[in-house]
Each structure stands twice: as C-alpha cells, then as structure tokens.
Structure 1
Amino acid sequence: MLMKQLILATSLAALGLLCASAQAQARKDGLVLAMTLEPPGLDPTAGAASAIAEIVQYNIFETLSKIGPDGKVTPLLAESWEVSPDLKTYTFKLRRGIKFQNGEPFDAAAVKFSFERAADEKSVNKDKRLFAAIDFIATPDPHTVVIGLKTIEPDFLFLIGQATAIIVEPKSAQSNAIRPVGTGPYKLENWAKGSAVTLTRWDGHRAASQLKIRRVSFRFISDPAAQVAALLSGDVDAFPRVAAARSLGQFSSDKRFQVIKAGSRAKTILAINNKKKPLDDVRVRRAIAAALDRKSIIEAAADGFGVPIGSHYVPGALGYVDTTGLNPFDPNKARALLKEAGVVTPLELSLKLPPTPYARQGGEVVAAQLAKVGIVAKIENIEWAQWLSSVYTNKQYDLSLISHVEPFDLNNYAKPGYYWGYENPAFARLLERINNTPREGERAKLLGEAQRVLAQDAVNAYLYQPVWLTVAKRQLKGLWTDMPVFVNDVSALSWE
C-alpha cells in the first residue's frame, strides 16, 4: 500500500513538473497583447486609424527605414543610403534575398510601385502629400532605388519609416486590408472580428530563427475597467497605452507587473470644423479655447498624465515654444468673444466622441466647461468606424476630442480638404519655408513661428500632450520605453 502511494505521489509530481514545463514553454514563445481599439482593416496605406500600425508595422509589413523607441532611424529593408549635398536626392541600397510572404521577390520595382501607388490621385494614403512631393523614382538595378524630392524634407528618412510608407507586393496590394502580405517576421493567422487578431512567426523571414515570440494575439478591450481586470487576471501579458492611471498604484506595488511611463509626440485636441458657421469665425474658435481649463481636462481624460499644449506641437520636439499663454483659460473672455462675433447664446454644437476612454471621459468635462460660457455641446458617442467616416472623411461634425499621434504632422494644416477645414495660404508658405530650410537652428525658429500662427488662428483647441502608460508582466522584455510612433514591435520582445 505504501509503495502504491509512493508511486502515485511520484507520478503526480512528475505530471506537475511536465505541466509546469509545458506552461513555461508556452509562455516563452506566446504572447497576448491588448489594444483599446480594433482597426477597421490591416492596410495602413488605406486608413487613418493608428490601430492598424499597432498590429502590422514592423510585424507583417516593413519599410525602408525603421524608427526606434528613441526616435532614431536605422536601416530596415534598405541596408544603407546616401543623401545628396542639396538634400533632395536619396540613394537606397536594398537588402538582397528578401521575399514577400507570398513568395514574390522584394526589389527596387516593389519600392517604386509602393511609393507611386501612395502618390496616385486615387490614393487614400493619409500621408499622400509626402509621396506626391517625390519628383522622380529611379531603379538603376534591382537592388538600388534613387528618390528625388521636389523640395527638401528634413524628416524624410523618419517619415518613410512610418506605416504609411510600407513596401507592398504589387499583386497582393489591393487585398492587404483583409489578407496582408508583407516582408515582415509575422504573418496573419486569424482575425476574429470584435475579439482579436492573431499573428504567427513567418519562417521565411531573414531573422525567423532569432524571434523569441512565435505567436501573438492582439486582443481588443475598450472598457478601462475591463482592461485592468484582464491584466490582473493574467489573461493579458501586456497592454501598451492602457487606461489604467487610476489603478497605477495597484500595479506599481504588485511584483507581478512592470509599469512604463512613456513619452509621446501625440497631441490631444478639441478638433473644430473651421468650415462650419459660426466656427469659421476666429473669434468663436478663440472663445472655445478660452472656455477650456486644460488642467481639469487632463485630470478627467488622462488622470493627470499629460502636459498642457497651446498649439499642434509638443515639448521636446525641435523648435517647441510654449504657446499656452496665447489662449489661456478665461471664461469671461470667451463670453466677450462670442458677443463680439454676434453669436446669440445658447449656441448648440455637436461634440462627436470616439470610443477611447480619454475622449469619453474628457468629453464630459469639455461639454460642462463650454456650457458655462453659453455653448451647448451635444455629446454623440460614436464607434471608431463612424468617427473615421462622419468626422474624418465627411466632415459631418462641429467638435471632436481626438489624439493625433503622428510625430511630424504640421503638414496636415496645409493639406487641402483635411477634416478640420483650415485654409491659410500664409501658413502653407511658412511650412514650405520650413521644409526647405536645411539648417536645424533656422528651421527651429520657423517652427516656433508656425506654432504661434496655429495658436493665434485657434484652428483647434489644443489641450495636452499625453503620457502613455504600459502595464505588462514583469518577465516580458523589450517593450518600448518611449513612443515616437504607435507600434508594437513583436520581434523585439522576449520572455525572461
């Protein structure tokens, strides 16, 4: 009897060790990473949602250059490059032996196709302006691409490392939104709509043998309470840009987790439709800006994790100047400006809010503050696809609370037909001077001037620069500690 008990105990212990070993092995090459929003598709050249790049950039798709967490640019599909003395011509030497996930070769022709497609008149690429500024693309051999720009673009190498500059395979390009084909280390395994996107390691990638994560699921959780619960239960391994500020102490004191406070180039703004009356009057836009207390909004929308801004620019960026004093919080001034503009209050405006927690929470405070100066902001909570359609594409809105996460996006203020409808030829000329000024010091001064113009024109009500929070299991290594762009580079991740 004793011998049977010993054998049983030994067997159970061995089984336990096997289970523990299997779990450890599964943990070593599997990952569940959560996101707030589900993307509308998986082609970043066909949609403006940053959630697309969070899944596909550097995972499924690759670019000529790669942006690191410190904002520095390194070679990716290009192994090297040279820039002409006039800063207008870039010669890229491409990596050899690379294939797309459908077996087609990556070469200079694919680069030329990708960039010309992005510049085409039918293109819906949100950075179309960048590609339209290309004067010529030459392919002297399959491994060399020469790109000539019409004007100087000081940040060109950074910009072509963004998701809108992915290199696509010509035969599969049209179906990338649902069946993405890239040169990246991961390929699409499954997309369970409303739940998760799962990627698996692509063994045809040049660095496949070095990848520590074999399979990753991007799970979509929009509710802040559910985000916290998923982390605490262990259902989620990492949640970049999580809405867990109110639970930060709980995670910081729990040895199971690591908390990363990451800097950003994002700008959270109250977008204003400059084409709608009476919002086409600068005095009304200035009144809206004067009605808003940035500090209260930061507390409500970001739980205090934000820095006030007065223009579409953030501290730390080249040439930043503090313009918050140009439109300070002043309800009395707001009322006076509305009266001066001939606005009869109450003025009713729509306030369309996307599903992100910062927008829903901050929108309530914005509406309450506007009400105190006679502006009735009617809140409409809409889903992300609706926001992209009604606000971004069709401009069917008055106000909207949104974060613009791209680091170099002042060009949007000179983009014809952009969703906030700002048209200022003087600003467009200033931006052209900025883009054609190679010396950093001179460019910084012009950037300061551009920030003042936007603040004075009160194109939008500029609120704050977010500080993004990432909560993850302590054993997960390789997470970005700063976020110049929104990506989740799975190839850099590993379990300790």
Structure 2
Amino acid sequence: MSSIRGARVAALSAVVVAAFALSACSGGATDDPPASAEQTLRLSAQAPPSSWAIGNAPGGDATMYLSVYDTLLRTTPDAEITEGLAEEWEYNDDLTELTLHLREGQEFTDGEPVDADAVVASLNVSREGPSTATNLTAVSDVTATDESTVVLTLSQPDAALLPNLADVAGAIGAPDVLTAESSTLEPVGSGPYILDSSSVAGSNYVLKKNPDNWDADSFPFETVQFQIIADPTAITNAMQAGQLDWIALNTPDQLAQFPEPKYTSGSNNANGLGVLWLADREGTIVPALKDVRVRQAINLAIDRESIAEKLQVGSLHPTEQVVNPNGGAWSDELNETYSYNLEEAKALMAEAGYADGFAVTMPSTFLSTPYEPTFSQQLGDIGIQVTWETVPFQDFLTKVFSQNYGMYFMFNAFRSADSVDVRGATTAIFNPFNSTSPEYEALIAEANSSESADAFAPVNEYFVKEAWFAPIFYTAGPWVASDKVTYTPAKTFYPSLKPWAPAN
C-alpha cells in the first residue's frame, strides 16, 4: 500500500492492503489547481505494483494504477459519481441496462482511439480479471452500439456497478496490449499520467503528465515520483530528510516530529477497517461458528475501547459495523450492540453448548501480530483457545481461499459507497466459504434496486444482529505534508493524485 493510502489506512501496515483490496483511502481534490505546476510531487509506497495489466490491479491503493489508466466514471471527494471517459450515462427503467456515452477525441498513449470497441475489450478482460471479476458479476453482456456508445446488460440490478466503474474495474487500456505480457510492466492507457521509462521496477516509479488527457488541467504536477520504502520508520525518516512531500502517520503523537511552518498536517476521514472475519458461518471447519450465539459471544468478548486506547491512540476508533461511518448505512445505535460484556458472552457460549469453549487456528501475518496477544486473551476469556499459525504474507491469500481458516484477522478498505463496502465484505478474501442466507439475498436484492441514500442500512443491520463479522475498529489517522504541497482529504475512497497541489 502506498503511503498515499497509508494515510488513508494510517494505523495499518500498508503493504497488506495493497496486496488485495484491503486498505483504506481518503483523498481530496483541488478544484482550482495552481497554474505553476513544474514542481515534482514526491510520495512513497511500501510495495511496488504487483501488475499494471487491466484486470490485475493491485488491491488497496490503486492511485498509481488509476493515474495511468482513465476510468469510465470517477468519484468526487464527496463520494459522488461523476463523468470520466463516459460523459453521460443512463439506466433503463428496471436498472438492468446501462448505456454509456463516451467523450470523443481521446487517445491511448500509443495513438489508438479510446472508442467503444476499446471500452468493450477492456471491460470483457476485467470481467475475467482476478482483481476485478467480482466487481462485474452482474454484467452479462457488453456491446458497442456505435463508436461512442457502450451498453452494459445486467442479470440483475447492482448498486455497486457505477462506483466500480469509477474504480479499477472501470479502467480502460489499449486493446492491442490488454493480454500481452508486456502490459504487466508497461501500461498503455489514456490517464492523466504516463509511466516514464526512467522508472525502476520495484524501486522507483516516475509518472509524467499526459497533456492529451481530457482532464489534464486538474492535475498540477508535471512529475510524480513514488519511492518504494517498505519500513514505516524509514518512510518517516525520509520525510524528515526532505526526500518526500507527504506521508501518513500511525498516531497523532508523531506529529511533534513535524512542526509548522516547515510542515502542515491534518487528519483523514474514516478510511480503513480492522475485522475479525467470522468467515465459516456454515460451520464447515469450525462448527461452532454456525451458531449465531457463538458469533455474538465473540463480538461481546472483544473489548474494542481497550484495543483502540492501548494500541494506537487517536487513529483507531471502535466499530461494530463493516460500513463507513460517513455513509448512509451506518447507525450510531447499532454501534452499541456489542458493548464489552464478558458475562453475557459466557452465557451465550453456554447456551449454544460451548460452555468450555473450543479450539481454533488462525493465520498469523505481520499485520495481525500486534493484536494477537489481545485477541488470544479476550477470546480465551470465553474458552476459545487460539493457535496462531505463521503464514508468509504472500501465501495468505491462497491459504484463506483454500478454506484453511474459519476465522482470521485482516484489514479492509472503505470504498466509495455502501454498496461497494457491502460487496467487499461478502466476496473474495472475506467470504472464502461463499456463505449466504435467504434473508441476506432478499435484503441485498432490495438494496440494489433502490436509489435511496440509506438503501443498505437494512443489510448493515442484518450483519450486526446476525454477527456475520466481528469488526473491531476503523482507522482515521493523521498525515503530514511538506511546505511545498497542500493536501485535502476526501470524504471516502479517492484513488487519485488530485488531493495534492503545489503550495504556491
């Protein structure tokens, strides 16, 4: 995860989030960027892009990726969907057909036109792509009706489709290299920036402004440089040495190292989420998790206030919900459903037939290790004996997808809409057992067919009361910028370089 997104998931180690759509964002935009834009913006990333190919975007922070590729739609800093390569769009009456009207005159950096055929080609690759397929499952067909019109046919309404078309699933690449091996390292897009040949893969990435992009004037920096720095302490040191223009901090007490006027600082909005994912709700390998009382007991046994206070003061905020507190589905009342109550938790365990608890194995990665002693102790208080199995991070995905663990701790990112957050919490890495229920399917179908701002509130309430997950905290950490740049946090996920502008 880049330190861009690190800001956005400030309290977390960002590498993980960048690996598979687990981290958080909050950027902002400048509507009127300064006219003088020769300055280079210098940022850090804790891990290099795993691939530049369409359909293979890195999870978590996609800022670099979406700087070289343009998307069909975009999200504003206030989480509104706005135009991208598509200037206009409309649904049919039953929300099963989306028509996109493309802006004309755009070209990829290889000189080929960004037309309807190119959009169809990219979307069809994304429908099969390992990092994007789950975001386009409702799309059953993509057709170009003329050079500037594309029609998406849906098998059912999907409220997450528009936000996803403003994210990596809506990225459009040059057709001639979509499936070429070269696209892994050499992207050919039409975005506001171009990956420069001076970049060193795995070490240093240089983006040069693309003057032919339709929105080029909104991006004031001619050059953006990303240094790959894995160690958070090294990132902080690089900022102090004047080698970077912006970083995320883990805790507010670090701000003392960056005094004004040499630096400016602030706090991001809610951007990331730490969750004990109770994935095996069918009881396939951990039978106890099939009982809602056991899942509720686990939620009651977690002392969220204590975890937030002791581990990262000011950056972690207790939560019992997997939706963004800035969204329409969030409920202050629901966030008090599982206030720490050990006696009630023990009673539920006994009622479910697990008075003596049970044993469970959970994966241990560098992201979970800071929390493992606390989880072991608090779950142990209700008889759940945890064995932590060390898993190299590069193997985590495979192990979880292979249904080796019934429950595990991992981070996720708040995205641009409730619909996307709900989709993310119930698919892929967070639902390896493909768990569902008739009640959930009915609620999600109703939410997807609604255009109400709080359409997903009933889904969120179902998650909480049925204890599908054990959310623990959301992150909203501090950031610091050099006196050469300004930074404006956005309301929610915003994978763009627009949050930064030259200070003068």
> Normalised by the size of structure 1, how large is the TM-score?
0.81
Q: Pick from 254, 260, 266: which aligns with 2:266?
A: 260
**CA RMSD of the aligned region, Å?**
3.1
Partner of 1:350: 361
* Separation in 2, partners of 1:65, 1:39: 22
| TM superposition shift of 1:298 | 2.0
**Structure 1 residue runs of 4 or more that deviate by more than 6 Å after TM superposition:** none
Partner of 2:51: 41
Partner of 1:327: 338
Residues 122-159 of structure 1, C-alpha deviations (whole Å, 9 max, x = no match)? x4234x34423235433222112233434333454322
Partner of 2:348: 337
| TM superposition shift of 1:238 | 1.0
Partner of 2:422: 410
* Separation in 1, partners of 2:339, 2:250: 28
Residues 219-270 of structure 1, C-alpha deviations (whole Å, 9 max, x = no match)? 334443333222222122112x43243302433x432112131213543211
Contact 1:213 1:490 in 2 (8 A): no
Distance 1:38 1:162, change over 3 A: same
Determine which structure has more spread, i.e. the larger CA radius of gyration: 1
Distance 1:390 1:366, change over 3 A: same
Q: Which runs of 5+ in 2 are unaligned?
A: 1-35
Contact 2:37 2:502 in 1 (8 A): no
| TM superposition shift of 1:208 | 5.4
* Separation in 1, partners of 2:255, 2:276: 26
Partner of 1:56: 65
Distance 1:423 1:339, change over 3 A: same
Contact 2:245 2:484 in 1 (8 A): no
| TM superposition shift of 1:194 | 5.0
Contact 1:298 1:362 in 2 (8 A): no
* Separation in 2, partners of 1:395, 1:44: 28
Q: Which amino acid aligns with 1:161?
A: A
Q: Pick from 423, 439, 442: which aligns with 1:426?
A: 439
Q: Pick from 458, 468, 480: which aligns with 1:459?
A: 468
* Separation in 1, partners of 2:63, 2:446: 33
* Separation in 1, partners of 2:344, 2:38: 59
Name the structure, 1 or 2, with higher relative contact order (CA <8 Å, separation 6+): 2
* Separation in 2, partners of 1:435, 1:372: 40
State whether structure 2 residue 177 is matched by structure 1 residue 181: no
State whether structure 2 residue 286 is matched by structure 1 residue 279: no
* Separation in 2, partners of 1:194, 1:364: 34
Residues 349-400 of structure 1, C-alpha deviations (whole Å, 9 max, x = no match)? 33435545xx443444333322333333344565543333333x33433312
Contact 1:40 1:49 in 2 (8 A): no
More helix by share: 1
State whether structure 2 residue 437 is matched by structure 1 residue 436: no
* Separation in 1, partners of 2:202, 2:352: 46
Identity of aligned residues (%): 22
* Separation in 1, partners of 2:186, 2:267: 34
* Separation in 2, partners of 1:377, 1:54: 37
Distance 1:414 1:50, change over 3 A: closer
Q: Which amino acid aligns with 2:147?
A: P
Partner of 1:90: 98
Q: Which runs of 5+ in 1 are unaligned?
A: 1-25
Aligned 1:234-249 pairs, distance under 5 A = 234-239=242-247, 241-249=248-256
Q: Pick from 167, 171, 185: which aligns with 1:166?
A: 171
> Normalised by the size of structure 2, how large is the TM-score?
0.80
Q: Pick from 89, 107, 121: which aligns with 1:113?
A: 121
Q: Pick from 317, 328, 346: which aligns with 1:307?
A: 317
Q: Which amino acid aligns with 2:268?
A: A
Distance 1:319 1:210, change over 3 A: closer
| TM superposition shift of 1:108 | 0.4
Secondary structure at the counterpart of residue 244 of structure 2: coil
